[in-house]
Structure 1
Amino acid sequence: MNTLISADNTWALWSILIGIAAMSIYLEQTYAWASKITGAIIGLVAAMLLANFNVIPTAAPTYDVVWGYVVPLAIPLLLFDANIKKIWRESGRVLIMFLLSSIGTIAGVLLSFMLLKNYIPDLYKMAAMMTGSYIGGGVNFAAMAESFGTGEEWISALTVADNLLMALYFFVLLAIPSIGFFMRKFKHPHIDAVAENANKEEGETLAAQYWGRKDISLKDISFAVAIAFVVVWISTALSSFLSGVIPKGNFVLNLFNGFLGNKYLLITTFTMLLATYAPGFINSIHGAQELGTFLIYIFLVVIGVPASIPVIISQAPLLLVFTGVIVLINMIVSFIFGKLFHFSLEEILLCSNANIGGPTTAAAMAIAKGWNKLIGPIVLAGIFGYVIGNYLGIFMGNLFQLM
């Protein structure tokens, strides 16, 4: 389908992506209603509308650049304050909550498969894909599709359903902290800390207070960007080398290969080591969080682009139901376990987000809400999901194939 702006019009697409991100930030910091919705959701919805009204294409090389370069660079910039000693002391249970939330994904896949297996052909293949994706991320989605030989037409339809649902669920997760019921039933120390530390001024939103002007120099910008590029370069090269030399053949070796062969895990590890063992140097660099957050906003705009509503309606409406049931059960189970084991509302929301959307969207939510102490832990938990997602996806796919 032709769009007003073609997929090869690189400058126009970059202008739109960055323009939407900038406008979202402006609205969030200027208007109370936008601050409650968050700039992240505003940008995502704006991109979804442009794509569905055929202004911009749903696929383009520019979007691939965002996934391949913008996202990896954002991670080290966001983790400059991630002193691992402090993180473990303050938020060491996040990984446990993530695993509990993963049980919700597995339960959701099981229920959804049993409800729809007679209506969607070869549903076991898509059950494997969504198990991997809703515990890990897009890399697991692709790996499961290849492992089970899923047809391209189903992959395309499921991708669209997944993106639309993820966008809607992200909106729900961001809105929950403003709902009285959840605030009464769960503890919320990070929300309280943000509210307590904000020096409120007349007419100023929480986002504007948090992202106020800071002392920053040209040296800060150059050091922050240089460190981010070097960390991504070394991590990418090392992960590629290690994934090629570490043998596979059993669960332990495959797990070891999956960890050390994952560039995102290495990016996170190297940055956190710097923040932990060179805190004086890293803390002296100002502006890294602002740069990383802006890159994340660009990524969130791209997230909304593939959510083409007509494709879902015309090709596979049942796939939206299939994925919707999984997400709903994940949320319910996450809240039940979170309540039973006394996790905070912020930990529950971020871990459910990391399951469904991956570490990047979970980090984006933590940033949008100002829960900065949870950024490092939730990124690590989400990357752990990349590894276990493939094993669980293969297990569920083979199990369902026999049913």
Structure 2
Amino acid sequence: MSNPLWVLTVLVVNILISEWLENHTFLKHMGTTLLVIILTAVVANLGIIPSATESSVVYEGIFTFIAPLSVFFLLLDVRLVDLKKAGLPMLSMFLLGAVGTSLGALMAIWVVNGPSVFGEHYKALAGMMTGTYIGGSLNFNAIALHYGVMKEGGLYAGTVAVDNILTATWMVATLLLPRMLGKIWKRVGNRASTRDIEGKLPEAREMVSIWSLAVLLALGGGSLLFADWLAVALNEAYGWNFPSILIVTTIALGLAQFKGIRELQGSRLLGLFTVYLFLAVIGAFCELAALKGIGELAIYIGLFTLIIVAVHGLVIFGVGGLLRQDWDVVAIASQANVGGPSSAMALAKSLNREDLLLPSIVIGSLGTGLGTYIGFLVAEVLL
């Protein structure tokens, strides 16, 4: 079943099923993001669509074009002046979590002896995991694309599988920790009135005109073309192996500050849908056989990733507790780091914190842009 049309149809149907499950069943607390990954992982492991080792031109196209476009479209929702809406506590906890992730990556490389275990890819893996646990899986793929780790089938598939497992586990943890820790250290945060944010949350459905859709697609495609051209030009002129995804990120963040761009409808829908397609492929790459195939290396990848998440958790929840922060705020900030904006928003809904929905989106979007930069910083500078 490797026909590209069949593969694409199954991926889209999985998104449809996941969206329905999120809206109409008890699985709503898991969120569409996690459901898409799990459902596609099951389908791929059953052999209905190709897995990581078999690959597909559809997967390659999504990684090459759709993944960067999803970054572009989602970042068009980031308003730098709106960061104040997240509030100082939420923003500070998010940045603290980013620091915890970076420290965790450096510690993990040292504990598992990264250069010896992972060889030449140890820097890339550290950058990928730093990026993904600061702003979600988009950063993971952006860095993996640059270093060509996806061409290392077993290593990439094993890392993705472990990453997905830990991401899902951390979602459960951030659901439980506020309740558990609230019994030890009383929460001091105040719930804002939902009336204060009424009408300000992004609409789940947008009326998209042909004009807006055409402009957004033209901007996205043009930005990708320009980013690729500039990256090549910089490499030829100065010998800089500059990641084109960083150029796309910078362009999107710049465009997002203009009123005309803000008035375009559909960027969030395009962003979410392309993200779901990307996550579906990540699910397809969550191949259980891949863990068996790489043998002992799977244990090291698991330990490596577990250390990063553990250090992140200890830093953000430990310092958050010492500063007597609202546990819900800490948990959502942590989920914005580890899972990205969609996961953070889903967690805010699950914790019944309507007042934190908008801040979760804002800091989650910030992480989508920031994670790639810090991931490359860890890989190229700190290591």
TM-score in terms of structure 1 length: 0.73
User: Is the contact made by 1:83 and 1:275 (CA closer than 8 Å) also made in structure 2?
Assistant: yes
* Corresponding position: 1:275 with 2:256: yes
Residue 130 of structure 1: aligned partner: 125
1:246 — aligned with what? 238
Q: Tell me, what secondary structure is at the counterpart of 2:77?
A: coil
Residue identity in the other structure for 1:25: E
Instruction: Summarize the alignment of residues 39-50 of structure 1 with structure 2, pairs less than 5 Å apart.
Output: 39-50=32-43
- 1:170 has 2:170 as partner: no
The within-5 A match list for 1:130-209 is 130-136=125-131, 137-138=140-141, 155-179=152-176, 180-181=178-179, 184=182, 197=197
Relative to structure 1, is the Cα distance of residues 144 and 163 closer, same or farther in structure 2, using a 3 angstrom cutoff? same
Residue among 311, 333, 343 paired with 1:347: 333
Residue type of the partner of 1:323?
A: I
Alpha-carbon distance in 1 for matches of 2:22, 2:8: 21
For 1:246 and 1:175, the matched residues in 2 are separated by: 47
Measured in 2, the distance between the counterparts of 1:235 and 1:189 equals: 43
Residue pair 2:316, 2:334 contacting (<8 A) in 1 also? yes
1:211-226 alignment, distance < 5 Å: 211-226=203-218
Which residue number corresponds to residue 15 of structure 2?
21
> Which structure 1 residue ranges, 5 or more long, are not aligned?
147-151, 200-208, 248-256, 354-360, 396-403
> C-alpha distance in 2, partners of 1:82/1:90?
12
* 2:271 is equivalent to residue 292 of structure 1: yes
Task: Give the counterpart letter for 1:382 in structure 2.
Answer: G
Distance 1:139 1:233, change over 3 A: closer
Show CA shifts across 1:233-285 (max 9, x none).
Answer: 222222222233234xxxxxxxxx46xx2222222222222222x22x12211
Tell me how far 1:307 sits from its aligned partner. Answer: 2.0
Count of paired positions: 343
- Secondary structure (helix, strand or coil) at the match of 2:285 reads coil
**CA offsets 1:10-32 (integer angstroms, 9 cap, x no match):** 1111101111112211221222x
1:83 to 59, 79, 86: 79
Residue 67 (structure 1) aligned with residue 63 (structure 2): yes
Quick one: which amino acid aligns to residue 172 of structure 1? T
Is there any run of 5+ residues in structure 2 with no aligned partner, and where?
132-139, 348-356
Aligned to 1:286, the other structure's residue is in SS state coil
Task: Tell me which of 6, 14, 23 is aligned to 1:12.
Answer: 6
Identity over aligned pairs, percent: 15
2:289 alignment counterpart: 310
Going from structure 1 to structure 2, the CA distance change for 1:315 and 1:96 (only over 3 Å counts) comes to closer
Contact 2:335–2:343 (Cα < 8 Å) also in 1: no
Cα-to-partner distance string for 1:87-127 (whole Å, 9 max, x where unaligned) = 378476545532331111222232234xxx9xxx9525164
Root-mean-square deviation over aligned CA pairs: 3.5
Q: Structure 1 residues 28 and 338, CA, compared in 2 at 3 Å: closer, same or farther?
A: same
CA deviation map 1:301-322 (0-9, x unaligned): 1001122212322541x32221
1:189 and 1:244 map into 2 onto residues whose CA distance is: 53
Deviation at 1:392, TM superposition (A): 5.8
Please report how far the alpha carbon of residue 332 of structure 1 lies from its aligned counterpart in structure 2 after TM superposition.
2.1
The amino acid of 2:59's aligned partner reads Y
Whole-Å Cα distance in 2 between the matches of residues 290 and 193 of structure 1? 27
